[in-house]
Structure 1
Amino acid sequence: MTVGDLIDLLSVCDRSAPVRLAMSPFFPMAHRLTEVVQAEAKGRLVVYLAEGPDPSSQLGPLPPEVAVALTWQGPVQAPPRRARRTARRTDGQ
């Protein structure tokens, strides 16, 4: 993805919405974006989006609906309910 691609994707978003990073598909967490840095890496210019050093930058688990939208998790549904079994008396009554 290029900066132009990112701008195109962001151009349809609400400009007042906070920005979050979704990290780690196997342990999905949300992080606050605090820095944008442009630097040369391996001979080419790269833009990095980063969380800050503040411990409050990690906001906690990613909402399940976001993980599903990212296809990091499948939609989870409660298992079907089964009739409860009753204990049988073994004393003949």
Structure 2
Amino acid sequence: MAHTETTVGDLVDQLSAHDRSTPLRLAMNPFFPMAHRLEQVIQAVDETGRPVVYLAEGRDADTQLGHLPPEVAVALTWQTPVQAPPRRPRRRVGVK
């Protein structure tokens, strides 16, 4: 199966459905999902000579914002929905 890359046009179309003042974050690492603040957009050329745009996180210590919210990791299919285990009745001391 051929892997298709998201284009700048695809991203613009997807982002245009959202309020322009909404913060943009990067979800990274499906095995340890974290949220990162987006800081730069850079255009370069890849190894085949094609132009490529990179979205980059910042270098500041507060660029990594912490764990990705579980509902986002589930929506990305990085994690499966988790349900709390059923509750067992509490044991009471001295009662038979």
Give the corresponding residue for 1:77.
Answer: 83
* 1:36 corresponds to: 41
Structure 1 position 64 matched with structure 2 position 70: yes
TM-score by length of 1: 0.86
CA RMSD of aligned residues (A): 1.4
Aligned-partner Cα distance in 2 for 1:33–1:60:
14
1:54 corresponds, among 49, 60, 71, to 60
Unmatched segments (≥5 aa) in structure 1:
88-93
Runs of 4+ off more than 4 Å: 84-87
> Is structure 2 residue 60 aligned with structure 1 residue 22?
no
For residues 4-46 of structure 1, what are the alpha-carbon distances to aligned partners after superposition, in whole Å with 9 as ceiling and x for unaligned?
0000000101111000000000000000000000001111100
Q: Which amino acid aligns with 2:23?
A: P
Equivalent pairs, count: 87
Where 2:53 maps in the other structure, the secondary structure is strand
Q: Percent identity?
A: 72
TM-score normalized by the length of structure 2 = 0.84
